[in-house]
């Protein structure tokens, strides 16, 4: 927890914050905080600053806070991600926050197991909790928007064109190398793929499931204006692919 996040409910006076839950346990157990310490705090959706710990018991911590710093600006990046398995989704939600994307769209794909869409980790409350842990890791107060698109074709035909307005679009899909590796005649193109370059331009980045998008899906994404890009000769786990691609795009 590099930043203690709070909501209006946690304030007992305009500049006085009281913590009683896991944040208190973290202060006691990990930070080994003591009265007089100055800690980074931030209001969810609002400003960040410092809090001076003015009282501490095993039941509650009281901080006098001063908020003076806006959260870091989001990157104008929409990440379109085939729904990962629930265990990985938790880590990816936190990671996506630390990488500063403005919007995450979780979509279906042929190789996404249907059961993933039934996961309790997809509830609004469960995702909000993971996003908040990400904010506390990142030192940020504004979570990316997250939306679910459990049907691929309606997403790509009806929603994607609007999302792509004014954006560069990329799909991480190693066309040439995959063709070489599998030797399947159905592989869709021989156009060389490109490495992502640093860019501050508005961008949409699509990353497939374990095993990749199928050819039909890549064709539909290409038809919507996305270009293929390549993350190297080895097969990455989804969470590694997300960090590599967003790292390469970082201006």
| Binding region for its own copies (CB under 8 A) | 2, 72-73, 94-95, 97-100, 137-140, 181, 195, 198, 231-237, 239-240, 243-248, 250-251
Instruction: Of 190, 140, 171, give the one whose Cα is nearest residue 4.
Output: 140
Q: How far is the CB of 248 from its own copies (least distance, A)?
A: 5
Shortest distance, CB of residue 44 to its own copies, whole angstroms? 16
Reading across the β-sheet that carries 38-43, which strands appear in turn?
A: 4-6, 38-43, 48-56, 61-69, 16-19, 11-13
Q: Residue 77 in contact with residue 86, Cβ under 8 Å? A: no
Min CB(94)–its own copies separation in Å: 8
Q: What is the DSSP letter of 186?
A: T
Nearest approach, Cβ of residue 229 and its own copies (Å)? 11
- Closest CB 124 distance from its own copies, rounded Å: 23
Cβ nearer to its own copies, comparing 181 with 223: 181
Smaller CB separation from its own copies, 147 or 240: 240
Task: Name which of 139 and 202 has its Cβ closer to its own copies.
Answer: 139
With CA atoms as reference, report the closest residue to 109 among 226, 189, 211.
Answer: 211
Return the bridge partners of 69, or none: 48
In terms of CB distance, is 29 or 72 closer to its own copies? 72
Residue of 30, 45, 6, 76 whose CA lies nearest to 250: 76
Contact 56, 62 (CB under 8 A): yes
Which of 99/204 has CB closer to its own copies?
99
């Amino acid at each position: 927890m590099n930043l203690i996040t709070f909501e209006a409910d946690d304030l007992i006076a305009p500049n006085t914050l009281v913590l009683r839950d896991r944040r208190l346990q973290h202060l006691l157990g990990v930070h080994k905080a003591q009265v007089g310490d100055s800690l980074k705090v931030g209001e969810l959706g609002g400003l960040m600053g410092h809090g001076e710990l003015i009282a501490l018991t095993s039941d509650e911590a009281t901080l006098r806070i001063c908020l003076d710093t806006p959260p870091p600006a989001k990157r104008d990046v929409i990440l379109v991600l085939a729904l990962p398995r629930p265990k990985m989704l938790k880590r990816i939600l936190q990671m996506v926050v630390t990488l500063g994307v403005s919007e995450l769209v979780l979509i279906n794909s042929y190789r996404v197991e249907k059961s993933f869409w039934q996961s309790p980790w997809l509830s609004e409350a469960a995702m909000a909790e993971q996003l908040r842990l990400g904010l506390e890791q990142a030192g940020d107060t504004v979570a990316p928007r997250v939306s679910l698109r459990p049907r691929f074709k309606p997403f790509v035909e009806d929603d994607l064109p609007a999302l792509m307005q004014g954006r560069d679009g990329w799909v991480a899909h190693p066309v040439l190398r995959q063709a070489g590796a599998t030797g399947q005649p159905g592989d869709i193109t021989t156009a060389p793929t490109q490495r992502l370059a640093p860019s501050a331009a508005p961008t949409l980045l699509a990353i497939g499931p374990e095993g990749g998008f199928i050819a039909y899906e890549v064709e539909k994404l290409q038809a919507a204006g996305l270009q293929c890009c390549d993350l190297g000769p080895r097969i990455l786990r989804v969470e590694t692919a997300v960090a590599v691609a967003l790292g390469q795009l970082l201006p």
